[in-house]
Structure 1
Amino acid sequence: MKRSASWLLLALAVLSGLAAAILPRALPGLIPGWLGSALFVLALVLAFSSLMRWQLPDSCDSASPGLRRRYTRELMLAMGAYVLILFASVWLLRHIEAPALRALVALLPVPPIALALRAIVRFIRDSDEMQQRIELEAVCIATGFVSLLYLAGGFLQTAKVIDVPAAAALIWLFPLVCLTYGLAKAVVSRRYR
């Protein structure tokens, strides 16, 4: 039952991601840009939910139920605030011209991410030693992999093989680390079962 729900969420995530990539290009005048972005965010949320549900009884977390509830509550509140503030920020940036105000509005999504990081650090700090070891290995793998990926991209960019806009490269760094961390945590935790 749990696995079938995970597969369903993953399938919906893939469909949402495909819709986010294809619909704005296939129907350029009919699909507003914000809808493509919303579909992409939905795809990320569904993929994350699928990964979270896919954990077996001896899951990645050896944390107490109370600690997991606190972590989930804090993280989901922070990420919900992030999504809402991100959309508000993007909308406001279309209507603001003053550079100082644009900088302030552009940075509005950063505090909710800082709160999410705080929730993660609190979870790791309050976990037992085994959970801390799993988290440490997953973070090391994720940061090492993403750093290597960005280094390779930098070399390819310098050689003029690819041309990735700096804004895209910078804004996707943190989500890529988070995604890689989640995958690494699932793999690392299997070794300790």
Structure 2
Amino acid sequence: MPVNPSKSIWLLLAGILNIVVAVLAQTVAPGLASEFARGLLFGVGAALVLCGVMARHLPNAADASTPALRRRYMREYIPAMAGYVVAVLGSTWLLKQNVEDPSLRALVALAPVPFVALAMRAMVRHIRDTDEMQRRIEVESVSLATALASLGYFAAGLLQAAKVIDIPSSVAMIGVFPLICLVYGVAKVVIVRRYA
């Protein structure tokens, strides 16, 4: 059963609105919003657009697991991701405030990690407790995402070594998990459609 089309339309519209506001903030009033705020608006907008597009192609969540399992997953996953967002924003802000002590800088920089670990725990528990068919779809999606993200990073590493591209190592390292999540979402759409 497909997702309610109105939900995906609202996600798309919210994402487009965020992107438009980010672009207007940069072109019309560049001093009004900081570069960080514009980047955040653009990133959230792009994520919402992607979620809206994917929501149109994924089956209804009710087809994948029981209501009790979905409630437990949301109870565990949403607070973890909210904590992650707050921790990333807070640690980024704190690190720009000239925190000098290396151990304190390390502690602040690693603040988002426990929240990602909690989100991963929620995902693993959800996959473990779904039925056999849904587990197969999830495992194939995660496997394909990991393989494609690894291949992409390997290719980028070769291009970096050949001095064709120049990506800062911190950006490359931080991007591994989000890239795997993004490719997982796309892979899941393809795999679900194959089994449908």
TM bin (shorter chain): 0.7 to 0.9
Deviation per residue, 1:121-166 (Å, 9 max, x gap):
0001111111110001000110011111111101111111111111
2:52 to 44, 50, 53: 50
Instruction: For residue 99 of structure 1, report the CA deviation from its aligned partner.
Output: 1.0
Whole-angstrom CA distance in 2 between matches of 1:19 and 1:159: 38
Contact 1:138–1:185, Cα closer than 8 Å, also in 2 = yes
TM-score for both structures, normalised by structure 2: 0.86
Tell me the residue number matched to 1:134.
137
Unaligned runs of 5+ in 1: none
Closer, same or farther: CA 130–49 of 1 in aligned 2, 3 Å:
same
Contact 1:61–1:131, Cα closer than 8 Å, also in 2 = no
Relative to structure 2, which stretch is displaced further, 148-157 or 34-43?
Answer: 34-43
Tell me the residue number matched to 1:63.
65
Contact 2:88–2:112, Cα closer than 8 Å, also in 1 = yes
Is 1:151 aligned with 2:154?
Answer: yes
Relative to structure 2, which stretch is displaced further, 8-17 or 72-81?
Answer: 8-17
Whole-angstrom CA distance in 2 between matches of 1:185 and 1:60: 16
Whole-angstrom CA distance in 2 between matches of 1:108 and 1:87: 10
Closer, same or farther: CA 141–57 of 1 in aligned 2, 3 Å:
closer
Is 1:103 aligned with 2:106?
Answer: yes
Instruction: For residue 17 of structure 1, report the CA deviation from its aligned partner.
Output: 4.3
Tell me the residue number matched to 1:39.
41
Closer, same or farther: CA 140–171 of 1 in aligned 2, 3 Å:
same
Whole-angstrom CA distance in 2 between matches of 1:165 and 1:188: 33
How many pairs align? 193
Tell me the residue number matched to 2:76.
74
The one-letter code sitting in structure 1 at the alignment partner of 2:7 is: A
Is 1:3 aligned with 2:5?
Answer: yes
Contact 1:6–1:53, Cα closer than 8 Å, also in 2 = yes
Whole-angstrom CA distance in 2 between matches of 1:68 and 1:109: 24
Is 1:93 aligned with 2:95?
Answer: yes
Closer, same or farther: CA 24–54 of 1 in aligned 2, 3 Å:
same
The one-letter code sitting in structure 2 at the alignment partner of 1:87 is: L
Relative to structure 2, which stretch is displaced further, 33-42 or 91-100?
Answer: 33-42
Contact 1:60–1:186, Cα closer than 8 Å, also in 2 = no
Secondary structure of the corresponding residue to residue 54 of structure 1: helix
What RMSD over aligned residues (CA atoms) do the two structures have, in Å? 2.5
Contact 2:54–2:189, Cα closer than 8 Å, also in 1 = no
Whole-angstrom CA distance in 2 between matches of 1:98 and 1:24: 35
Secondary structure of the corresponding residue to residue 39 of structure 2: helix
Closer, same or farther: CA 165–27 of 1 in aligned 2, 3 Å:
farther
Contact 2:58–2:192, Cα closer than 8 Å, also in 1 = no
Closer, same or farther: CA 18–167 of 1 in aligned 2, 3 Å:
farther
TM-score for both structures, normalised by structure 1: 0.87
Contact 1:60–1:189, Cα closer than 8 Å, also in 2 = no
